Amino acid sequence: MGVTACFVLMPHARWPWKPDQDATVDTIFKAVFMESHEAIALTRAQDGVIVAVNREWLRLTGFSREQVLGRTAIAIGLWPDALAR
């Protein structure tokens, strides 16, 4: 399994903690993921099922979170078939 690291400067993000508070890695990850200005969808490698999407992805695609979680990009019509994906 490979690991990809990405560092993003987010000066306008709404952080869920104050600078003097300790923040857990989970809290930081959720804030960066949800407040990113990049559209992000996380899918399971083995079957392509969407497990998480951020606000920008929802805004860009027009889907609601309920419409996509637990489904694949093919099932929701983002790709015509597995070969195109």
**Token reading at 57:** 């992805």
pLDDT at residue 70, as a whole number? 96
In terms of Cβ atoms closer than 10 Å to its own Cβ (0-12, 13-18, 19+), residue 80 is: exposed
Q: Please check whether residue 16 lies inside any domain of the structure.
A: no
Q: What pLDDT does residue 68 have?
A: 96
**Residue-number span of the structural domain to which 37 is assigned:** 23-85
Give the chain's domain count. 1
Q: List, for residues 59-75, the tens digit of each pLDDT value.
A: 999 999 999 999 999 99
Is residue 13 assigned to a domain?
no
Assigned domain for 17 exists: no
Q: Is residue 1 a part of any domain in this protein? A: no
Q: Which tens digits make up the pLDDT trace of 17-75?
A: 565 566 677 777 888 888 888 899 989 888 889 999 999 999 999 999 999 999 999 99
Query: What DSSP designation does 72 have?
Result: B
Residue 5 has pLDDT above 60, yes or no: no
72 domain residue, yes or no: yes
CATH number where 67 lies: 3.30.450.20
Does residue 10 fall inside a structural domain?
no
Identify which has the larger pLDDT, 16 or 23.
23
